[in-house]
Amino acid sequence: MGDDDWDLSHHEEQILDNIEEFGCHITVVSPPDDDGMGNEGENEEDDDEEGERFAYSVGFPATVHQPEVIVFGFSTELSAAVINGVLDLCREGLVLEDWMEIDGILKGHRCVLREVEPECLVPYYFNSAMWFAETELETDFTRAMQIVWPGVDDGLFPWDKGCSDAVRDLQTPLYRTSLNS
């Protein structure tokens, strides 16, 4: 790096290393535990804590020329498996589209991709992805897809009549929810 270049933080270096090695970096956001730190899904007893639990990709635009993805409500391990499953499908040629159904990323259940609304493309949900787009790709962060999953028992999605409140409550809708959209 030249004298005029900014030094990367350890976290930024880790993001770039993960993208180079694995094709993406996965950022996990979880509710704070008793010490105020995110618990990263390590203590499953804390799953009922107040706050959102989500994970998103960083690097899809560079690796597979697709928008970043975000998923809510899963443990760190399951979030990573689902996001990496989508990455693998994109490497095989899948082009991510709104309302696309995807099988094979969540054992025994199909998921649906929903286009994230522009007003939801904010640092709270996509901070590292926005940093990557702006600093490494030298472009604006303009697209992301939300991976939406159904209830285990009934297969109903948050927009389906009869879907459980638990399934709805775990998945903040960053997509347009109006039927007239």
Helices (H) and strands (E) in the chain, counts: 5, 6
CA–CA separation, 134 vs 157, rounded Å?
33
Q: Which of 25, 59, 20 has its CA nearest to residue 137?
A: 59
Predicted local confidence at residue 1, as pLDDT: 38
With b for 16 or more beta-carbon neighbours within 10 A and e for fewer, the 53-79 pattern comes to bbbbbbbbbbbbebbbbbbbbbbbebb
Question: What is the residue extent of each domain of the chain?
Answer: 11-24+56-170
pLDDT per residue, tens digit, the chain (181 aa), is 344 456 889 999 999 999 999 999 999 999 876 555 554 434 344 444 567 899 999 999 999 999 999 999 999 999 999 999 999 999 999 999 999 999 999 988 999 999 999 999 999 999 999 999 999 999 999 999 999 999 999 999 999 999 999 999 999 999 987 655 4
- If we measure between CA atoms, which residue out of 17, 122, 131, 4 comes closest to residue 70? 122
The tokens 């590292």 sit on which residue? Answer: 128
Q: What pLDDT does 7 receive?
A: 84
Using a 10 angstrom Cβ sphere, with 0-12 exposed, 13-18 middle and 19 or more buried, the burial of residue 171 is: buried
- The whole-model pTM stands at 0.87
Residue type, 153: D
